[in-house]
Structure 1
């Protein structure tokens, strides 16, 4: 019985494939449109798009073109081909700005850019572009039902940029380039005043100031110790119960000893 069921299923699959190939080879664009639409509704986006790619140019300027272009774009999105879906949805909005699907298409185009954004450690160009595209959508559709999701996407993308800038500054600290680390953390705190990484940035900036101070030549040591202690105070003022309290207090104690020794010498 199981063997019979398997044979019947195999025959159905083969017939289905055979029917699809016949439609692919057919010159009947109406048949391809209808078959593609059915496949699209069944969630068979790869097959549907193979048919749509054949007939999109032939329906240009016809009443069916709007729906066809929407389905064609959505297939790319569902297949996670986001570079193509962003482009196709943009084309759709430009071609049919008054369509009832225009708002959704504009959002999915912007979201496709978000999906293309790499992890924070990679180049930030695509992330910046994604933020710009989503912001453009928000400006164009300020009352959109997608507004809340769009804002969340921007928040995630912004954090990628914050994380990248933070990790660059922290990397300078790791490789003992304390001047570059301090400068980078200063820029980070200016560029991202509301960052969730503020506590970490303040600590590592202080850590870099500490190391720069203790490694300084005699003529610069007192001045740099004072700057480092000011950074310690800034950290504790912003985060009295900071998770770095023990480490920060240890560094402060060392700075106080260095300060005393310098005063005696």
Structure 2
């Protein structure tokens, strides 16, 4: 019985492969469309794509075009070809604005860019694009069932930009470019007022101001010491019980001691 079942499955597989190969070689686009649809419904997206790639140009304007281009975009998405999938979904939305699949396609097109968003250390061009496209989807389809996921994706993408901005500022501090670090931390706090990195940002701004001051030439030292003292005040105003407070107090002691020479 097992052997019979095995042979039956084998015959089906061979027949299926044979049909696919015939469709690939066929000059008849309708044959390719039927086989591509069969592959798509069987979730064999890579095979479906090989056929869709062949027939897509010929199907523009045909009655089956809407269905074909939707399956084409989905196949690209399922095989994680997000650049191409995003393009196809956006093309679908503009070509078939009355389609029942338009809302889903608009969401998946925007989501493709979130999939393309790289780790925070790399260029974030695709992250900004993803946020814009997801936000545009939310604005156009505020009642969509996909809005919750879209909002979550936007939140995650913004957190990535937030982390990158913080790490960029911290890098300036690490390489002792204290002027640039102070500006970067100020901009970071302005751009991300509710950030969970605010405590660290304020401390490292103080650290940058402190190091800039104590390593300054005499004619600039007083002004920079005063600026560092203001950075200390800004830090303890919000985080008087911070784990960084002892270190900040050490800095303040040095700042006040160095300022004495200018009061004489």
Q: TM-score, normalised by structure 1?
A: 0.90
Q: Does 1:98 align with 2:85?
A: no
User: 8 Å contact 2:86–2:108 — kept in the other structure?
Assistant: yes
Q: What residue in structure 1 maps to residue 196 of structure 2?
A: 196
Q: What residue in structure 2 maps to residue 246 of structure 1?
A: 246
RMSD: 2.4
Count of residue correspondences: 264
Q: What residue in structure 1 maps to residue 117 of structure 2?
A: 117
User: 8 Å contact 2:36–2:52 — kept in the other structure?
Assistant: yes
Q: Does 1:220 align with 2:239?
A: no
Q: In the TM superposition, what is the alpha-carbon distance from 1:68 to its structure 2 partner?
A: 0.8
**Residues 164-188 of structure 1 deviation map (CA, whole Å, 9 limit, x = unaligned):** 2222211111111111111111122
**Residues 181-219 of structure 1 deviation map (CA, whole Å, 9 limit, x = unaligned):** 111111222222222221121111010001011112233
2:80, 2:248 → 1: CA distance?
47
Q: Does 1:141 align with 2:125?
A: no
Q: Does 1:176 align with 2:176?
A: yes
1:224, 1:154 → 2: CA distance?
39
**Residues 213-241 of structure 1 deviation map (CA, whole Å, 9 limit, x = unaligned):** 11122333233222212211211222233
Residue 14 to residue 243, structure 1, CA distance change in 2 (3 Å): farther
**Residues 51-77 of structure 1 deviation map (CA, whole Å, 9 limit, x = unaligned):** 112222222222211111100000111
Which ranges of structure 2 fall in alignment gaps of 5 or more residues?
Answer: none
Q: What residue in structure 1 maps to residue 108 of structure 2?
A: 108
2:72, 2:150 → 1: CA distance?
23
**Residues 5-58 of structure 1 deviation map (CA, whole Å, 9 limit, x = unaligned):** 988877765554333111211233333222212211221100011111222222
Deviates more, 1:214-223 or 1:5-14: 5-14
Q: What residue in structure 2 maps to residue 132 of structure 1?
A: 132
Q: TM-score, normalised by structure 2?
A: 0.90
1:244, 1:254 → 2: CA distance?
16
Q: In the TM superposition, what is the alpha-carbon distance from 1:263 to its structure 2 partner?
A: 4.9
1:217, 1:57 → 2: CA distance?
70
Which ranges of structure 1 fall in alignment gaps of 5 or more residues?
Answer: none
Q: In the TM superposition, what is the alpha-carbon distance from 1:109 to its structure 2 partner?
A: 0.4
Deviates more, 1:251-260 or 1:123-132: 251-260
Residue aligned with 1:66, SS:
helix
Q: What residue in structure 2 maps to residue 259 of structure 1?
A: 259
Runs of 4+ with deviation above 6 angstroms:
1-11
Q: In the TM superposition, what is the alpha-carbon distance from 1:131 to its structure 2 partner?
A: 1.4
Q: In the TM superposition, what is the alpha-carbon distance from 1:79 to its structure 2 partner?
A: 0.6
1:206, 1:222 → 2: CA distance?
16
